[in-house]
Structure 1
Amino acid sequence: MRPPLRYCLLTVAVAALLALVGGSGVAGADGYAPVDRPGPALTVPDLAKSLRCTADVRNATREPVLLTPATTVDSDQNFGFDYEPLFRGLGIPYCVSDSPVDPYNMGDMQLRAQYVTYGIREMYRLAGRRIAVMGHSQGGMIMRWSLRFWPDTRGMVDDVIGMAGTNHGSVVVPALCVPDCAPALWQQRANSAFMTALNSGQETFPGISYTEIYSRTDEFVQPNLDDHGTSSLHGGGGKVTNVAVQDVCPLAVPEHLLIGTMDPVTSALAVDALTHSGPADPSRIERAVCGRLLMPGVDPVTGPLTFATLTAQVAAQLTVAARRVPSEPALACYVTADCPR
């Protein structure tokens, strides 16, 4: 059962819909780096330690997937009991990306994006072909920072798959930042400087297929009531499918954690995107998925127990005082138009 707090947060999110529409997070590209300016050198430590791959990524015979986890968890917690076994069963090569210095993705996401940028480049080199980048929540958005500010990565990525991605932040997060919160939470507010920069210039790029999956009953990433909500993307030249799980199964009610872990509709859409040219097509999803409780790959006995542990992990990370700071991290120089080269 969902804690009452989740329903309260969802109510706050819906009531705050106009905050996203009218907030400063939708500003244009003025003052930001041109979209074709080469990105800076990667400066974070232990880049090689951030990537773990299956053996079949090297010289891959099909599109491999880079998995990027959500705020408050690492890749093993987010994907170890669901998407990793699913991909192994389907023969899909994959890597997971984690920050060696910030394993639960609570710190400055500008630093996290450097590890993702490294992961994209290294996977492309290993596979000898374009890759997919797929993630949950923060992980469903963070690859877009790499694509925006390291333009060389665009030719390396064929698919972007976001599960409840915070592409335009959330109107719920500010309630978690009174009086302070983790850097990554400051940056995932709907009107944060990070979100304004992320969506400057253009939201998508030609040659890349974007599948953005969201739930209208997500209690954390809101507003997500339609395809103009926070997770959805528009414009820029990429091929985009913005789809709610309720578009496939009207009675589905997955909340934030479920959509990135055990939800069968989300996994069906993700696999559809990975096994077809272009983004996912909801019309290809068999409606039998609506009668399933768990996605393929999740053990019906241990999966729900792991999910319960994951829920506790998320709650613990959100309340760790040592990770709290009083304000959003400043934007890096390379984000701005007048940064000296």
Structure 2
Amino acid sequence: MPRDFQWKLPGAHLHLKKKEGWMTRIHLDGWLLLALLVLMSCGLLILYSATGSNLDVTLSQAYRLLFALGVMLVVAQVPPRYMLRWALPVYAVGVIALVAVLFLGTDAKGAQRWLALGGLRFQPSEAMKLALPLMLAAYLSRRHLPPGLKHLFIALGVLIVPVLLIARQPDLGTSLLVASAGLVVLFLAGLSWKIIFSFFTLVIAALPAFWWMLHDYQRNRVLTFLHPENDPLGTGWNIIQSKTAIGSGGLEGKGWFQGTQSRLEFLPERHTDFIIAVLAEEAGLIGVTLLLALYLLIIWRGMLIAANAVGTFSRLLASSIVFTFFVYVFVNIGMVSGLLPVVGVPLPLVSYGGTSSLTLMAGFGVLMSIHTHNSLLNR
């Protein structure tokens, strides 16, 4: 029998062990749901301003978020034991879809990342952010932990296949997010620090080779990150305008609809990847801090659920979902503020887009299922 994976969060039991109500019986966590609804509402307000009061785009995003909420509700009804059984089929379908993208995918902005079926377009790489940790958590939960070298290499193979397929599209940002979602499962499974140190040593040693494997536009992104002023009207334009918008907001901002960088269209991708720069310009440091506090509340609630989950599979999967959400926020804010290279990662549930929101909400549905099914089991 595998040794049970567990980690403790101070005071976790004090927050979650309360009398069960009707929300638990329909497998929803009230506090997490409330925080998500507030975040999505704020996101729609920011999007409305970022698009220049474009009601059609805002309503389109609202419909997408409502659909994502419906998916979350459906996923929350699935007990964790069924997720464990379906992990391999879900992962296999995801890998097949990624292979299909290479041959049948549709192009968008110079990348082949989408599949079109029955008039609908979807991005299989987004689903892999959930399918990969699901598969790894299922595989490792059936083994003795920490995993031996044999099981570790098998787990790495499970991780590397979709990451390479996504990087081939090319989509470096999504491939890094998928890799991080899988690596956190391996880390929490109890890897020794010797193995972790050896892994990072190999990664650092492979950086020169990895550099030449990148596409030209990807190398330009890294160079732009280091010296954006070298090409202020070309590759450096995006990050320079983003930092200008953030800095001009000051403490209190210029006011809603008063952002000049977005209104005069200096700020690129202002309704997608760079949307937080719009918030920073119009609501200032106070507005950004409030949004970050909301993100931290969601992350904290997710950590409580993961810490109180019953069983290795549930803990590993819940922890990976929370960590992936954190990485989304961290990478987007980092790249918009010039602390990280621009890799095309949207701001969760705020940036315009349906596929990423759908994946994130499905992940929160898994979190709610883990929490509420365990709560009913322990009544």
TM norm structure 1:
0.30
Say which one has the larger Rg: 2
TM norm structure 2:
0.28
**Higher strand proportion (structure 1 or 2):** 1
Greater relative contact order (Cα < 8 A, sep 6+) = 2
**Higher helix proportion (structure 1 or 2):** 2
